């Protein structure tokens, strides 16, 4: 049961990281000017839709398994009263509820789509999707161990910064690689749009790696301070 809980959590975190990175790279690259780049954007959006569904599904599995472990009986995982209590009467459950509400809004937003032919509409749509994905990701820190054992807000803030950094850097690598593959496949010379996106991501990645390293060190320090002597 514990292995299933960890597996569901791992899949959920990975999906949230990848969705956040996908929309960050789309925003960083800007509206695609040519057919090849629009095809790349459609592929990224299609992948993001599936990843949001994976995040929702793995999150539901995590909640069910956690409820069963909390209640001490396997059948609690499918009992509505037990699940409702886990969602509303525990802090991790409340955080789970808020996060999955954000993911449901994001899923509905991606499925319905909208007219993004105008530049400002495109920026608004991709920006809103990134904010929803990023919030769902960073709020994971609110249900972590640091938030539970510490009275200080700093461990929680550090966890959130670390998660956001992972979403921007690690999650942004697959769509960027897909963009570079698309340009190398359909163009004899590097496309300016792809080159500009890669240059922007490189600058952001440098800062993000420094933030990840700093927040990781700060996390280790907080754990060391919180551990009994």
Average pLDDT rounded to a whole number, residues 15-41: 90
Average pLDDT rounded to a whole number, residues 200-227: 81
Predicted confidence (pLDDT) per residue in 163-173, tens digit: 999 999 999 99
Q: Is the pLDDT of residue 96 over 70?
A: yes
Quote the pTM value: 0.89
Contact 167, 130 (CB under 8 A): no
Q: What is the DSSP letter of 77?
A: G
Query: Which is nearest to 195 in space by CA: 213, 179, 210, 209?
Result: 179
Domain ranges in the chain are 2-224
The number of helices, as runs of H, and strands, as runs of E, in the chain is 9, 0
């Amino acid at each position: 049961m514990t292995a299933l809980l960890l597996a569901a959590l791992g899949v959920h975190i990975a999906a949230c990281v990848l969705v956040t990175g996908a929309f960050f790279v789309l925003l960083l690259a800007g509206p695609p000017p040519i057919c090849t780049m629009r095809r790349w954007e459609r592929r990224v959006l299609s992948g993001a839709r599936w990843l949001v569904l994976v995040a929702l599904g793995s999150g539901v599995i995590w909640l069910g398994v956690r409820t069963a472990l909390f209640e001490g009986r396997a059948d609690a995982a499918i009992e509505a009263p037990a699940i409702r209590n886990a969602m509303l009467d525990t802090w991790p459950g409340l955080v789970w509820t808020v996060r999955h509400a954000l993911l449901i809004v994001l899923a509905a937003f991606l499925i319905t789509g909208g007219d993004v032919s105008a530049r400002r509409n495109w920026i608004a749509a991709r920006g809103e999707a990134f904010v929803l994905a990023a919030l769902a990701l960073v709020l994971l820190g609110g249900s972590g161990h640091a938030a539970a054992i510490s009275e200080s807000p700093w461990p929680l803030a550090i966890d959130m910064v670390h998660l956001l950094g992972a979403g921007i850097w690690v999650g942004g690598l697959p769509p960027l690689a897909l963009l570079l593959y698309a340009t190398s496949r359909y163009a004899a010379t590097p496309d300016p749009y792809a080159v500009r996106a890669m240059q922007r991501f490189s600058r952001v990645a440098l800062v993000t790696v420094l933030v990840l390293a700093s927040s990781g060190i700060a996390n280790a320090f907080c754990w060391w301070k919180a551990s009994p002597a």
